[in-house]
Structure 1
């Protein structure tokens, strides 16, 4: 199991960035690899399960492990066949904008393949 940390800083307010995470229908507006999210809840919560449909039509299963609205922090697990990733996201104030961090844990080749997409998404996430 390997670990990779990414970070992005931008002008969007922390509350704005957090809402972009919390409301699953907003994921596709900042994450270019997401075409749709299929779940029974409009917002993330512990235990929420569903699938993320990618731009390539691939469906990735997920389960949200934890959500802390006060700390603007959440963790989820994603699964594609035998491949598994654990992702922890956080949002914090940074100057007049915000910073977002992502810690990914999983097989090193999968982390390396996903990192460029994740980096792009995080940069879009913190834009105003």
Structure 2
């Protein structure tokens, strides 16, 4: 079973979001997603200043097997991107919930988080797909 941290929220397309103490949100792909992709060789993230919309495409993760759209779980303005992934995209495989984060956003509506899955619901979703 994939690692599913309890402190995160999830969406069906296998992205996670962590809300930080300052109200910003960090986004990445789940352990399950990186396992399905295989060895990640390229990550495309949105530009700083761009607006991402919850449930809509915000980037791409490419592996030796396939390419997969990365969706944003939340709506907001991109305030940071993980520049490390440009030279070391494999970080997503090695630490998807830590150093492999993709981008950070200033939330447009914190209430949007209420509609996301918790770790238990996401675990059930993954089990249903497996």
TM-score (norm. length: structure 1): 0.32
TM-score (norm. length: structure 2): 0.31
Structure number with the higher strand fraction is 1
Q: Answer 1 or 2: higher relative contact order, Cα 8 Å, separation at least 6.
A: 1
